[in-house]
Structure 1
Amino acid sequence: MLPGRSWAGPRAADPQRDRYRVEVRRGVAQLPPGLWERLAPADDPMWSRSVFAALEGSRVGPAGYAYLTVHRDGEPVALLPLSLFPDLALDRIVGPDERRRLAPLRRLAPRLLRVPTLFCGHLLGQGHLLAPEPLDPVAGRLLVAAVLDLARRERLGTVLFKDFAGPDLAPLRAPLTEAGFFLAPALPDTELALPGASFEDYLATLPAKPRRNARAKIRRFDAHPGLRIEVLAEFDHLLPQLPALYRQVMDRADQTLDVLDDAFLAAVAADPDSRLVACFEDAPAKRAEDAPAAGREGVPERARLVGFLLCLFAGDGATGARIGLDYRLAHEAALYHNLHYAAVRLALSNGSRRIRFAQTAYLPKVEMGCALVGQWHAMTHLCPLPRALLRRLLPAALGAARTQALGPHADRLPSRPAPGTPSRPARGAPLPAPASRPVERPSDAAR
């Protein structure tokens, strides 16, 4: 589709269809003024316009972006962002066990692992269809048809609604099923409710053992007098140091769908709602006789950045978006935990009611009190044979990766298909609606 192209779907007997059209825009700046702010969740900083503009100006993975807008009687009523991957490496989105099994194929025939894919939703966060109310069936079918039409035009065989929670996916389940989509488990999100007004109030909500562990990790950090954590609203001067620490984390990651680059980090640094929780290591002072200025007892070297957590804020929500660590010190000084504790303090001081962290490191995050937010992929392929293969192989592979990532906390997922729901719906049957129930209290999730 060309920018601004409309999709009204094939002619049908239903007169309601004439009320709708779906339009494609090729950049967030091309959307009607005020539409993004009206539809995007006000308390999810990952869904700010600035984050999507930063994605478009960087090279974090996709070759391009698009936005489908659903119009009813000429007025836009829904918005769906899309990411275009013409050359996605399949072994980047599965778990470590599956990656090892695919290694021989990668060596012998790497092109077989390249999967042209269209992602629907958010590349970096939880998926949403931005709409003030659920779409009716007519609008839902037109939206799904427009997604598949764009995939055909861009020659992207695999189509995936990525990381959608059950309530967000449920209104689309009928049109998705009719179009041949099936469910596959995604890694859960992690969310920490922030009761009280102080860090001590937060610690008091944790069970005894996690609370003792948190205090012990804080003492481990304090035992290193050369380390200090600062919160920076302006951190342009640190941008050259961020990628090396971020790469240390990504080199150990199970999945590497998106890897943030310098352009994205620079764009986020310019956002007034971003903060950098930065850990510095002060070098030992020089001896007085080595100091350039006579009479000084000690001259500290320039502090070295050894860890960071990039934090974003919107409304009463906060996100610890990406982390970087110097693994030379990470375990000894409990850098990971203390950067997150500093982010919790920052969110509390900012008046946030919740903070979300990335889909990694579930053991420490559950101990910190995070609840697991169940998420799902809805996916299909434009061709019947690959679709059948994906339906047979991917749900099991992604489910195994999720179980391995969660470890002993796999049974704490608050969102699963209803008991007895078939994992592969019969053709023409509706997608199973992921069960939705309230997330556990922090004290329950940490036990």
Structure 2
Amino acid sequence: MRLSFIFEGKHQRMKFVYCSIVLVFFQLGVFAQEINTNRSTMYMTFGNTGSNLREFNNMLDNKGLTPMRKGYNNFNFGYQARINDFVVGMELSQNPGFGSRFNGYDIDFRTTRFMVNLGFSFTEEGRFQLIHYMAVGSGFLNFQMIRESDAQNIDGFLTNPEHGFILRDGNIHRSSLNFRGFLTEFGFHMSYDVPIPGRDEAMALIGQFGYSFSPFEDSWSQNGISFSNIQSGAFLRLGVGLTLPDYSYFYKDATIGAHLLYGLHFTSPDALNRHLEDNGLRPFSGRPNNWGLKILGYSKQLLYGVDVFNLGYGGQASATQSHTLNSVRVYANGGLKFLDLRNIEIGALAGLGFGNLRYTLTSNAKPDFPRLFEEPDFDGQLRSYGAMGKPELFVTYGFPLSKRRFFDLVLGMHAGYELPLTPYNFLGLPMFKYMANPYLQFSVGIRP
């Protein structure tokens, strides 16, 4: 069963997001009538989910081959705001599977999810918290069977790129707006605060357990096989976070907020485009689109936080092929606030982090399984990764969304420059100029 009339297409997805935001604001407004306590937390968790890639493993079993290992890992980055006993948050997760090797090919998969959480705390505000939550969101699936390319340079790869197959659903390598499907999760979130001397913040030791699932049958099918099992399963996660508990506030302006980003990066892959044209492929045009998540905290004049954003290009490479150029950036930020005048804030951040770069060239006409497994050479990809740094200036404007001012809506503008700190190249083709670029980002977020 598929509810495609609700959850497919960009306009329908945006309606779903808007309705979710309105529902959250309505619920917060109800709880705001008796505000006593609040806390905000950013955190990271790591864990494992049990699942079985059933249909693909059945195909391997029919061929007398060893099935893939069950389960996959979880790497989650999240934000949580508690108002009295009501909890709202968001979480971004990367979920790589346990790979296998067959006949010189590496077989593996990964998924990415963006979830919005609503929950209720069973405990009073204090060092220990026990929260029951439910989450809804969308995701991305990548399943591939790839061997190392024999190409010695970029032209050799573009002439003969086929060294396996790559299947993607909700292809965020083109844009983060391509997240698709309807995913749900329910579970329990436990945390215990460990004080940090001299700071309002505390370190939160976190545990989570529950169940993730994709409620609609065959919603993650590719080339004749369903991969919905790798969007589901029981999980156990452990992690740490930075939290601003209500009981330890010395300055009530201390807070941690969550912001959605849209950015303009003033760059283009000119060096790669020249080689694409030389090999009869269409170049990328325009600027890469960029959507992401910014968590920003403030206490005692110190700013800190994390940025995660995704730059994507996508389009037709030829009459029979498609290609994407994708880069994910993750930054840890620190800085200072220069001006805090009524609702306007001006400050500066410095970021240090990680960036990857991936070019993928895929065939538009691949057969179904099991033939695809037997004859896998259709697609190819190039990868590079390294360290990144950036300075950033920002201006934000915040205004309360209730008379009790229990949380603010924050609009922001951020300008900076990204600088690669390590070489990025595709088989000897330098990509430094593409990765080094000025940017302008716009954000909208909430903070307690």
> Could you tell me the TM-score, scaled by structure 1's length?
0.21
User: Which one has more relative contact order, counting CA pairs under 8 Å at least 6 apart?
Assistant: 1
**Given the two structures, how large is their TM-score scaled by the length of structure 2?**
0.21
More strand by share: 2
